[in-house]
Amino acid sequence: MIIIVFKYHLVMYIYIDNILCDVVLSSVKSWIKTKKFKIGINNNGSIIKRKQLWFQKNLLPFNKNWEKYDRWCSEDEYDDILIMLESIIKKHLIENNINININSCLVNEYTNGSDFIKFHQDSNKAFGDNFYTVILSIGNKRTLRFRGLSNNTETNNTETNNTETNNTETNNTETNNTETNIIDDIFDIQLDNNSLCICTPEINKKYEHSIIKDDSVGFRHSFTFREFINL
């Protein structure tokens, strides 16, 4: 099933379920089990409520100023399993007339519903001003929530939950971005196991997003494919 969602007369996202066949899905799950995901630390010393691995084809860090933080350094190899997933995803992108030079993948691990990401916009320093975000979800269903931004207020357009300061990462608790004027425009996407969500450039310009907390149990792994620019 393919769902295409419009808002403001623009395509916001494309959602596709059952993206992988059983054999490939099993291979991805086996690959996940071989990986040791990396933790991050908040300014208050608490552990950030998710783990991650960053893969970039040229082995570049997510942010050149964050090389001292191991979790934001690229893994030593862009694994074959990522190449395989990328080839499957590209077929669906082509079918929807989307052309992306995918060269990175951020894999997040959520152990249960208490793991989350606060509201943020993806980094234009890493991906430019006009990029697609392609999210493959494996495991427990979670809610991706979008919250509208005022058209007359400029936001900092960075991954606020990932900002690095004072040798530790900033507080990753669920709080409002004080530089952002929020309007009453909120909607959710239920990210099921084995689903693909293609977010268009417009959605990152008009909304910030969050994986919200819930009372679910079970792991979820998200594979976020994008064209990394590193401005």
3 state SS for 127-158: HCCCCCEEEEEEECCEEEEEEEECCCCCCCCC
So what's the pLDDT on residue 174? Answer: 34
Question: What pLDDT, in 10s, does the model give residues 126-154?
Answer: 898 889 999 999 999 999 999 998 643 44
Judge whether 231 lies within some domain: no
Q: Averaged over 22-30, what is the pLDDT? A: 97
Q: Name the domain count of the chain.
A: 1
94 in any annotated domain: yes
Residue 145 sits in which domain range?
2-226
Asked whether 98 and 132 are in contact (CB, 8 A), the reply is yes
- Whether residue 194 has pLDDT greater than 70: yes
Q: What's the whole-number average pLDDT of the chain?
A: 84
The Cα 143–Cα 187 span in angstroms is 10
Rounded to whole angstroms, what are the CA distances from 161 to 39, 130, 140, 222? 14, 21, 22, 16
Could you tell me if residue 36 is inside a domain? yes
Tens-digit pLDDT profile for residues 92-128: 999 999 999 999 999 999 999 999 999 998 888 889 8
Assigned domain for 185 exists: yes
Q: Give 168's pLDDT tier (boundaries 50, 70, 90).
A: very low
Q: Is 169 part of a structural domain of the chain?
A: yes
Q: Vertex 183, ends 128 and 144: CA angle to 5°?
A: 60
CA neighbor of 159 nearest in space, from 198, 101, 108? 108
| CA distance linking residue 151 with residue 156, whole number of Å | 13
CATH code: domain of residue 146: 2.60.120.590
Q: Is residue 92 part of a domain?
A: yes
Query: pTM for the full model?
Result: 0.85
The pLDDT-based confidence of 164 (bands split at 50, 70, 90) is: very low
Residue among 38, 47, 41 nearest 74 (CA): 38
